[in-house]
């Protein structure tokens, strides 16, 4: 009898563990059929109808989701906010047109760029409502980690002698267009051919806030093939051009706790060759190290831990020269940057590819799709050795996860 009871309890325990592993305790905002949805645990909730939603972003505490309501032709881009507490969508002003908005790192305040005019939302009844002007002439921007200032880029000017330098500014949120509050931060001297650029964007702060990375981008056609990854110290004293890469903002990411920058280096707009996972230490005294084996390309990356980087990897295709661009069937690999050991960790079927790895706590997620379709499913596993399973089906793109820490929400780095 005792043996039977023990066996019964063992079976129950196994079944429970299987159920728990299948129901990952994650919260995400995602897009399906151009509509905004939220999934929390196992529950999916549709938020919008008859809209064309993209660029969903959580506020710092997870109460709000900012998103763009656009159209297929790209002729409109209206900013909306969904309030998860009141369960309603609204516009922070009568009409806000933008394609570039960012939440404050420490309060429910939105900053957005409206055709070169940087604005921040005011607060009414605990919600972002109304706006105040900050600065004119803004091309790219990001909050400083203190939530009180912005780093702002202003596009260089074309002169008879060529393109001029790119000025960066440090501007308080209450600047209200006052010239005396616009503080010079750094000037990027652009000299061909080592560093030719006319603008800067995609600013990202290191974990300790001592460095900011960004892309210096040249003119449109040139930027399709090559951009310069740069880093600048938080006081604007030390600048470094790190390397050349394509203009994908998710292709460079700071380590979770060290001043190490992982990026996919390599020029050329086609993915068939010359895309290598590279690690640069700040300050860049040490030589950079590439981790992509010969004959392969890496086309996405994410830090899993201080020592491990997840990449989406495919075989090179140097034979392709013309015609339709070939699909690169990527699979996820884990790279231990200390031991240099590499291991395949996802196993898509033939004609499937895994992309956009994201780490949320101990969970690893990614999008798996057929090579000839745009939609896919979101897969998840707990730790690198867990059992992978589908968490979301038929999504338009990668979800944006909410990472909970000590009762507060924080958007997962994506």
Q: Report if residue 129 sits inside a domain.
A: no
Determine what percent of the chain is predicted with pLDDT higher than 90: 85
Torsion-angle region of 24 (φ positive above 0: left; ψ -120 to 50: alpha; else: beta)? beta
Least confident of 17-31, 74-88, 93-107, 203-217: 17-31
In a domain, 43, yes or no: no
Give a yes or no: residue 162 inside a domain: no
Q: Mean pLDDT, to the nearest integer, of 71-83? A: 95
What is the average pLDDT score of the chain?
A: 91
- Parent domain of 371: 211-414
Q: Is 5 a residue whose pLDDT tops 70?
A: no
Strand-strand pairing, 296-305 and 308-315: antiparallel
Q: 383-403, pLDDT tens digit by residue?
A: 999 999 999 999 999 999 997
Alpha helices in 280-368 (DSSP H): none
Q: What is the distance between the alpha carbons of residues 202 and 218, in angstroms, rounded to a whole number?
A: 14
* Residue 372 maps to a domain: yes
State the average pLDDT over residues 219-243: 95
> What's the pLDDT band for 414 if we cut at 50, 70, 90?
very low
Choose among 50, 60, 58: nearest CA to 30: 58
Measured CA to CA, the distance from residue 294 to residue 98 in angstroms comes to 42
Domain containing residue 305: CATH number: 2.120.10
pLDDT, greater one: 287 or 17:
287
Total domains in the chain come to 1
- Assess if residue 350 is contained within a domain: yes
Q: Are 203 and 212 a contacting pair, CB within 8 Å? A: yes
Confidence band (pLDDT; 50, 70, 90) for 10? Answer: very low
The answer to whether position 174 is within a domain reads: no
Contact (Cβ atoms closer than 8 angstroms) between residue 30 and residue 39: yes
User: For residue 283, is it within any domain?
Assistant: yes
The answer to the question of residue 393 being in a domain is yes
Predicted confidence (pLDDT) per residue in 342-384, tens digit: 999 999 999 999 999 999 999 999 999 998 899 999 999 999 9
pLDDT of residue 23: 59
Q: Give yes or no for residue 6 having a pLDDT over 80.
A: no
């Amino acid at each position: 009898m005792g043996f039977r009871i023990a066996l019964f309890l063992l079976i129950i325990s196994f079944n429970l563990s299987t159920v728990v592993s299948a129901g990952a305790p994650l919260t995400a905002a995602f897009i399906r059929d151009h509509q905004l949805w939220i999934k929390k645990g196992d529950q999916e909730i549709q938020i919008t109808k008859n809209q064309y939603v993209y660029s969903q972003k959580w506020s710092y505490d997870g109460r709000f989701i900012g998103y763009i309501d656009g159209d297929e032709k790209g002729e409109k881009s209206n900013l909306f906010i969904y309030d998860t507490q009141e369960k309603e969508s609204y516009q922070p002003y009568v009409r806000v047109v933008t394609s570039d908005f960012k939440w404050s790192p420490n309060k429910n305040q939105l900053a957005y760029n409206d055709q070169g005019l940087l604005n921040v939302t005011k607060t009414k009844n605990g919600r972002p409502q109304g706006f105040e002007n900050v600065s004119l002439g803004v091309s790219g921007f990001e909050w400083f980690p203190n939530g009180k200032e912005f780093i702002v880029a202003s596009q260089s000017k074309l002169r008879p002698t060529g393109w001029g330098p790119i000025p960066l500014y440090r501007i308080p949120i209450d600047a209200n267009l006052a010239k005396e509050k616009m503080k010079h931060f750094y000037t990027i001297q652009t000299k061909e051919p080592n560093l030719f650029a006319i603008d800067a964007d995609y600013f990202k702060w290191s974990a300790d806030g001592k460095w900011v990375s960004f892309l210096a981008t040249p003119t449109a056609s040139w930027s399709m093939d090559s951009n310069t990854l740069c880093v600048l110290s938080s006081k604007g004293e030390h600048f470094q051009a790190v390397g050349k890469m394509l203009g994908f903002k998710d292709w460079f990411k700071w380590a979770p706790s060290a001043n190490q920058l992982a990026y996919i280096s390599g020029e050329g707009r086609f993915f068939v060759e010359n895309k290598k996972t590279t690690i640069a230490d700040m300050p860049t005294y040490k030589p950079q190290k590439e981790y992509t084996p010969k004959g392969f390309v890496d086309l996405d990356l994410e830090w899993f831990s201080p020592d491990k980087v997840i990449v989406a990897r495919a075989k090179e295709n140097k034979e392709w020269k013309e015609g339709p661009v070939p699909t690169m069937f990527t699979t996820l690999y884990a790279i231990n940057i200390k031991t240099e050991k590499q291991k395949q960790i996802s196993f898509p079927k033939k004609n499937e590819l895994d992309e956009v790895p994201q780490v949320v706590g101990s969970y690893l997620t990614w999008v798996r799709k057929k090579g000839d379709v745009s939609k896919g499913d979101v897969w998840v596993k707990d730790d690198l050795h867990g059992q992978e399973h589908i968490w979301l089906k038929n999504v338009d793109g990668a979800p944006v996860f909410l990472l909970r820490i000590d009762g507060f929400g924080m958007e997962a780095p994506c």
